[in-house]
A and B are shown apart, each in its own frame.
Chain A
Amino acid sequence: MTDANTPEAEQAAPMSRADAMPDALPIEEAAGLTRDVAENVERVIVGHDEEVEHVLVALLARGHVLLEDVPGVGKTMLARAIAESIEGTFRRVQFTPDLLPSDVTGVNVFNQKTREFEFRPGPVFANVVLGDEINRAPPKTQSALLEAMEEEQVTVDGTTHDVPKPFTVIATQNSVEPSRTYELPIAELDRFMKRISLGYPDADEESEILDRVVGVHPIEDLAAVVDTERFQRAIATTAAVTVEEAVRDYGTRLARYTRENATLGVSPRGTIALMRASQARAMLEGRDYVLPDDVQTEAPTVLSHRIRLSASDERARSTRGTAGSGGREVVQEALERVPVE
C-alpha cells in the first residue's frame, strides 16, 4: 500500500485499475491543494467543515460516502461543490422504486445512421455521483450502482466501460420515511468507506446560509481550484503515505475488538478502508506517514456502519446515544480500550 505508485505495485494492482497511476505530488503540495478544495467547498457549505473533510478523505482514498440524513440539509450542494472544485463532472440520480439498473449505468442505443449500437452512458459516468435516497430503489438497481462503486467500471451488454477518474459516489439514505424502502444489506453498506451525516445547522449557521443563498447562489459562480489530473496526482500521493507496522497492527486490533464485541464486526475490507482513510487524513495534515491519531480520527466514520449488534445489545448501547448508534458506541469503546502501541 505504501509503495503503490512503484511499477511493481502497479502490476500487482487489480486489472480494473490497470491504467497507470499518475506521478505523486510532493506531500506539501498535495496537502495544500486539498486544503484549497476544502476551502472552496466551504464557501458553499456552511458549518460542515468536518463533513467536508470526511468527503474529501473518501475522495482521496478512492472511497465512497453514505450520507444518512434528513432531506434539505445540503447534501446535493456538498456533492456538487466538490465536483466543481476539482473541475469534475457531477451527476445526480434520484433513486425511486421504479428506477431500472440501466437508468443508472446507461444503455446501448441502436444508431440508425451508423446502424450500430452506441453506448449512451448513464449518470454513473461522472466524477462525483450523488445517489439520492438509494434505499428507495429495488435491490437490483442498487446493486448496479454498487458494482460501479466497487469495480470503478460498468458492464452493459457484455461491454465494460470505465468510469471517469477520480470517481466517488455519495449516496444518501432517507431514514425518516422507512416505509416502501429497501434498506441496504450490510454487505452493501460495507462498500461505503464512510457513513456520515450532516445534520441540521445551528441558528447562526442557518442564518448565514440564508444570507449567502438569497440572491445568487454561490454554487453558480463556484470555480474550480484544481483540475482532475492534478487531483489524481494528489490521490497518488495519498496512496504513497507510509503506514508502519505499528499502525497496521493497531488497525487490526481495533477491528478484532469490534468482532469480539458485536454480532458482526468490522470486515477485512473495513480494515483496509480504515488504513486508506487514515492515509488520506495524514496527507490532509501534510504528513507522509500515518499516526495512530489519524486512525482514531477516521475510525468512527469508517467503522461504525459495518457493525451489527444483537437487538438487546443495540438497545442497551443505544440508551447512551441515539437509536441505532450501537455501532458507533462499539467503535468508541474500541478506541478507548485497545491500547495504542
Chain B
Amino acid sequence: MSTGSGRTDRTVTVEPSETLSDLSEFRLAALVGTVALTLSYVGVLANVTGVVGGTSALVLLVVVSAAGGLFAARVVGERLAAVVGVVLMAGGLATYLAASPIGLVALVTQTKDIVADTVALMTGLSVLRMVEAGLWALGFAPGPVFLSWYLVARRRYLAGSLVGGAALLFLVLTGDATPMGTLAGVLGGIAAVGFGELDRREGTLLQADVLVVLVALITVTSLTLSLVPGGAADPLQLNEGGGAAPSTVEASLLNNPDRSPIVGSISLSPEVRFTVTADEERYWRVGVYDRFTGGSWIRTGRTTDYGGRLSSPPGPRRTVVQTYEVEGRTAAMPAAGEPVEVIGDAATVTKVTDQRNLKPSSTFIQGDRYRVRSEVPDATPDELRNAGDDYPSDVRDRYLQLPESTTDRFRDAAASVTADADNPYDAAVQVEEFLEANKTYSLDVERPRGNIADAFLFEMDEGYCTYFATTMVAMLRAEGIPARMAVGYTPGQQVDDDTYVVRGLNAHAWVEVYFPDYGWVKFDPTPSAPRRNTEVEAIQEAREGGGGGVDTDESTDATLTTVATTSGTNGTTGNGTAAQVTQTIPGFGPEENPGGDPNDTLGNRTVATPTDPGGGPSSGLPPLPSPEQTAIGAVVLLGAAAGAHRTGLDDRTYRIVRMHWQGDRGEPVEDVRRAYERLELLLAREHRPRRPGETPREYVDTLSAFGIDPAVREVAEIHEQARYAGRADREDADEAIRLVDRLVRERTPVIGSVYRRLN
C-alpha cells in the first residue's frame, strides 16, 4: 500500500499551500486519527514528565517537532527527512545518556548494557523506573512525532501511522501505556490509514462504513475480551490504575516489587509469613520506593547482585542480627533497615536494589531460612534536630521528587503544618502527629481519583497505612525534606523474648526521612492503636474460622501481643521515648471485644471489594457514566449505525415503518401515492421489489402470475388513475388506504392471524 505511491505523493506536495477549506473530509479524519495516535504516546510521555517534571518542555518539543515535520514535508525529500528523524532520535538518546549516571561514554564501552537496558524496557520495565525518566521522555518524543507528521503531510498515512504506532508499541511494551490510551492510539492509527486511503483513492463517505464498523469492533473486543492468561480479570474496569486491584495490604504493598499502586478497600491476611528471631524488635523492611506518580509508588534504578558486605550507613549505628524462617512461599526478603550483610548461603541468591533493599533472586519456600545483619540508626532526637539540611545531590535529585499534579493548596498545607518547626526533624514529627491526630484508620476506603496525597489530605477522613505514609512523604518533600516510602512488616506477635511471628496482616507502610550524616530514619504516621486492633481482630476471626496457616506452634498459646509505637513518637531511637502499648487477648476469646473503639467500618474489612468501577460517590442517584464509558458508548453506537448501513438494516427498518404508517391525510392524489408506496413495500417483502425500469402495471401483472390479492390490483388501478391521469377523489384515496391497511395488517405476524380470524 505504501510502496509505489511515491510519485503521486510528490505531486501532492508541490501544491503550494493547503488551506483548511481544501481538506477533504477524509483527509481531515485521517489527520484527526494521526492526532489521536500522536496524543496516545505523547500522553504516556506526559504521564512520565507529570511525575518527574518537564511537561511544558515536552509539549513545546512535541509541537515544534510536529510543526517541523509539516514544514519539512513541503521542502525536504523523504531521504533527508528520514535522516533528520534518525538524528533526532539519536540526539535524544545521547542527551539522556549524557545526563544519566552511566554517561555518554557508555555508548561505546557498555553497548551490551545499553542493549540489555533496552530489552529490559521492552519487556515491561516501566519508563518511570529509570532514574532520568523525564529526560528520557524528552529525548524520545521528537523523532516519532517529526517523522509521523512529515509522512502524514505527504499523504503517506500508512508509513506515518507505522512510525507513530512503533513509538506507541514501545511504550506498551514498557508497560507505561494505559489500556484506554493505547486503544485510542490504535484506533487513531487505523483511522489515519483507513481514511487516508479513502482520501487518496477518493472514496465516498458510504465506503467508510466498513472502517467505522472495524473501529467499533476493535474497541468493543479489546475492552471486553482478555486473552492474556492471568491478566486483568475484569477488562472493562475503567478505573484509574485499571486491572484487578490487590485486595490486601500485603498484596498491595509487597507483591509488585517495583511498582506499588495505591488501591481502595483491602482486607487483612492472617496467614503467617515469617518467624523472626532478632535482638530487638524492628519494622522488617521489604522495599523502599522513591518515585511518587500521584497514584502509585515506583522504585527507580537497577537491581544488582549482592556482592558481599554492603557499606555502612553514616552516623551512630547499632547492629541487629535477624534470623528469618520463611513460613510460606514469598518473594520478599525482609530485613531491618539498613541491611549490611547477608550471612550464609542465602547471600548467593540475594540481590540489592539502588535503595539498599534485599531481594531474593528466586522465591523462598517454607522452611527457608536466612540471616541478615543490619545496622540501625542510633541517633537521639537532638542529634537529628541538629543534622541540618545539607543533603547530598543524589539524595536531593531522587527523594524530593513530586508529581506535577501536586497542588498549591497541598504545598500551603504542608507549609502551615510545619510552620512551627525550625528543623527537618521537628517538621517530620509535626507532620506525623498531624496525620495521626486528624485522620482515622480504616481499611474500607474508596480510592480517590488523581493525586492520592492531595485527596487524602483534603477530601478523605480515613485511610490505611499507605495513605498515611504517602501523604507524609509528599508533605515532607513539599517542604524540601528528602523522604521516601518504606514497606514491609511490623514486628508481629512476640512469642518469645526474641522471637516474633509475622503474619500477612502485619504488612505495613511507613516513612523514612533522610538526615545528613545519620541516613534514613523511620517515622510512622499511621495511628497505631486502631491498626493493631484491626490486626488482632483479624487473627481472632481467622482462628474462629479455622483457616490454616494462622499460627505457628508457639504463637497459638502465646499472648497475642504486638508492639507498636504510640502517637507522636518515633521508634527510631528506642531510647525510652517509645511507650509500649501492649494489648493482651487470650488465644481464644470470642466473648471479649478488643478494647478501645475499633472503627465501625471494620465490619467490612473482609469484604475485599475493589472500588466500584466508574462508580461515583455513593449517593442515592445512579452514577453518571464516566467520560470513557460515554466515549465507548458513542463509538459502539456509531459502529452499530455503520453496521446497520452496511447490512442494509437501516433501510429495512425504514421500509417496515413506512409500510405500516400511512401518515396524515392530505390531498387525495398524495394519499393514493402514499398508499401505493406502502403496497409496493409490502409486495417487495412478499415477492420482490419493483425493478427500476418496471412500470407499476408490469409489476402487478408479473406478480399476478404468483397469485395476489385482488385488492392489490384495485389499489394499483386507483394509483394509476391518480398518478398518471391526475384523477383521484377523497373516496378513491380512502378506498386505497383502507385496502392497503387491510393488506398490511393481514401480513403482520401475530396481529395478522388475529385480524384474519376476526374478519
Residues of A within 8 A of B (CB): 242, 244, 246-247, 288-293, 296, 334-340
Contacts and interface: CB of A to CB of B under 8 A. Distances in A.
Interface centre among A242, A246, A293 (most CB of B within 10 A): A293
B724 A339 contact: no
A244 B719 CA distance: 13
B738 interface: no
Contacts of B725: 242, 244, 288-289
A293 B697 contact: yes
Contacts of B723: 244, 246
B344 interface: no
Contacts of A336: 691-693
B692 A244 contact: no
B692 A338 contact: yes
A113 to B, nearest CB: 60
Given A244-B723, A246-B723, A293 B692 contact: no
B724 A246 contact: yes
Given A336-B692, A337-B692, A340-B692, A291 B726 contact: no
B693 A293 contact: no
A261 B327 CA distance: 89
B726 A293 contact: no
Nearest 4 A/B pairs, CB to CB: A289-B725, A339-B692, A336-B693, A292-B695
5 contacts: A246-B723, A289-B726, A291-B720, A339-B692, A340-B695
Nearest to A339: B692
Nearest to A293: B695
Contacts of B697: 291-293
A242 B727 CA distance: 11
A241 to B, nearest CB: 10
A291 B691 CA distance: 17
B681 to A, nearest CB: 15
Nearest to B693: A336
Range class of the B interface residue count: 10 to 19
Nearest to A242: B725
B242 interface: no
Interface string B697-730: 1100000000000000000000011011110000
A289 B724 CA distance: 7
Interface in B656-694: 690-694
B726 A244 contact: yes
Given A242-B725, A293-B698, A296-B695, 12 more contacts: A289-B721, A289-B725, A289-B726, A291-B724, A292-B724, A296-B693, A335-B693, A336-B691, A336-B692, A337-B693, A340-B695, A340-B696
Contacts of B690: 340
B726 to A, nearest CB: 5
A340 B692 CA distance: 6
B726 A242 contact: yes
A247 B693 contact: no
Nearest to A332: B693
A296 B694 CA distance: 9
A247 B724 CA distance: 7
A120 to B, nearest CB: 49
A127 B58 CA distance: 95
A340 B693 contact: yes
Interface of B: 690-698, 720-721, 723-726
Contact of B724 (A290, A296, A335, A338): A290
Contacts of B695: 291-293, 296, 340
Nearest to A250: B695
Contacts of A246: 723-724
Interface centre among A246, A290, A291 (most CB of B within 10 A): A291
Nearest to B726: A244
Contacts of A335: 693
Interface centre among B690, B724, B725 (most CB of A within 10 A): B724
Contacts of A244: 723-726
Contacts of B693: 296, 334-340
Contacts of A291: 695, 697, 720, 724
A316 to B, nearest CB: 21
Nearest to A288: B725
Nearest to A2: B726
B694 A340 contact: yes
Nearest to A246: B723
B48 to A, nearest CB: 61
A296 B726 CA distance: 20
Contacts of B696: 292, 340
A289 B725 CA distance: 5
Nearest to A295: B695
A243 B583 CA distance: 107
A244 B13 CA distance: 55
A333 to B, nearest CB: 9
Contacts of B692: 336-340
A148 B690 CA distance: 44
A242 B723 CA distance: 11
A291 B723 CA distance: 9
A182 B477 CA distance: 106
Contacts of B698: 293
A261 to B, nearest CB: 14
A112 to B, nearest CB: 61
Nearest to B697: A293
Contacts of A292: 695-697, 724
Contacts of B726: 242, 244, 289
Nearest to A282: B724
A40 B120 CA distance: 103
A281 to B, nearest CB: 13
A288 B725 CA distance: 8
Contacts of A293: 695, 697-698
Contacts of B721: 289
Nearest to A341: B723
A291 B698 CA distance: 11
A246 B696 CA distance: 12
Interface centre among A247, A288, A338, A340 (most CB of B within 10 A): A340
A340 B700 CA distance: 14
A2 B255 CA distance: 93
A244 B724 CA distance: 5
Contacts of A242: 724-726
Nearest to A334: B693
A72 to B, nearest CB: 37
Nearest to B725: A289
Contacts of B720: 291
Nearest to A291: B724
Contacts of B694: 340
Nearest to A289: B725
A310 to B, nearest CB: 24
A88 to B, nearest CB: 32
A89 B699 CA distance: 43
Contacts of A340: 690, 692-696
A175 B582 CA distance: 125
A242 B720 CA distance: 13
Nearest to B692: A339
A338 B698 CA distance: 15
A337 B694 CA distance: 9
A253 to B, nearest CB: 11
A223 B694 CA distance: 41
A269 to B, nearest CB: 24
A336 B694 CA distance: 7
B339 to A, nearest CB: 88
B421 to A, nearest CB: 88
A154 to B, nearest CB: 39
A87 B150 CA distance: 86
Nearest to A287: B725
A288 B698 CA distance: 19
Nearest to B698: A293
A339 B695 CA distance: 9
Contacts of A288: 725
B699 to A, nearest CB: 9
Nearest to A245: B726
A292 to B, nearest CB: 4
Nearest to B721: A289
A334 B692 CA distance: 10
